Chains A and B, each alone.
Chain A
């Protein structure tokens, strides 16, 4: 990737480029399902790119490509050398490279989603990589998780609690999760979803659309006109 002759090694500056959205969270919480849902819902009205950070295989990228929610060429997989959190926080070079390659090939884009490898509660995206970030938990991890906090839960721009359909089966109390999340997140939004039931994750998609609108308002340049959104 990125082997063409465009010289794009510029300093980070949001002007004229897509909003970069990081999606992180523990293994199995539904990050890839959320990415697929966002592609499904936002694809018709936005120009998208996706970067996946698989732990051991290209499973996530393959899943997304098979799901048929996005042109497979717009999905790039990055290997992270046993350290998924390093690749999104401490050494973001490979992810930046992948994002810029997508923008170079298909740009201008409206939104580039970077999905982290499944990690622990301390994993957050560097602001050098993601402009906004979503942290995804699921109810089957236990309703105590929001209370435990950690940078992912407390600092993400949006906390998504997925698999609400499983709550009765695992004895998770959504009221407790909601109250605890509000307490540690200082007013930042929390959305409860069941992507199995709402395959478009519409509430999350609405939040993302708002973020893309805001980003465009501040960072659009005349040289890079954006497509008209039809939310």
Chain B
């Protein structure tokens, strides 16, 4: 594991994540989550649906970014980082896996903010290229690219994405319900094996061939169509209810 992963996964990374609850605020408001027991089910459900998809997208993004790194290309890499068609295609795959417009907006906001801070922390033509192609990418797409630039392999990017999918809601539930923070962290610890398994599977997901045959449309590989697409209709509904709520503490 690359130490940069710790910075990327840290909730103190100043990329706006603290203001998102991943549906937890609306779940609390509607009474779906009232205690630790409910939260455990909520987090497990979120991790194995949205979290799994995010992990796969992050791994795919990390793999794509790695092929675009200056030392990965023969001529030292294109000045702009390149990869425009690839970024656009991968971001479209993320859109296709995010049914709720509110969730799309939240994912894009978090992606844009992460990309902005990462471009100051780890400046790279690869991130410039992503920002040029997709100024507000889905969060997992941004996370994967940033992970690659920071020196992490796809598995680490997937792990960070899966971890991110549960820590935000868990922290939000502590704030909203006054749950015992230690009990909630114990809950997160019980998800470790699942997190590892999801990251491992995500890293084994289909990735673009870094050395495609001449003339092939290598930047928008069809293999991404086979990335996981687990749906979580309840989370979609919570997200849509949340943006329509008159009072809210969290963006999503």
Contacts and interface: CB of A to CB of B under 8 A. Distances in A.
A40 B15 CA distance: 34
Contact of A79 (B19, B113, B175): B19
A87 B116 CA distance: 16
A2 B12 contact: no
B70 interface: no
Nearest to B135: A5
Give the dominant DSSP class at A's interface. loop
A148 to B, nearest CB: 26
A176 interface: no
B20 A81 contact: yes
B78 to A, nearest CB: 16
Contacts of A97: 16, 109, 112-113, 116
Chain B interface residue number, banded: 20 to 34
B131 A93 contact: no
B251 A79 contact: yes
A7 B16 CA distance: 19
Nearest to B171: A81
A7 B250 CA distance: 27
Interface in A1-26: 2-7, 9, 11
B15 A93 contact: yes
Contacts of A9: 115-116, 119-120, 131
A94 interface: yes
B119 A81 contact: no
Contacts of A55: 249
A144 B43 CA distance: 46
A80 B17 CA distance: 10
Interface in A144-198: none
B230 interface: no
A1 to B, nearest CB: 8
Interface of A: 2-7, 9, 11, 55-57, 78-83, 86-87, 90-94, 96-97
14 contacts: A2-B135, A3-B136, A5-B135, A7-B128, A9-B120, A57-B246, A81-B251, A82-B172, A82-B175, A91-B13, A93-B113, A93-B117, A94-B113, A96-B116
Given A11-B120, A57-B246, A83-B18, 9 more contacts: A3-B136, A6-B135, A81-B172, A82-B250, A91-B17, A93-B113, A94-B19, A94-B251, A97-B16
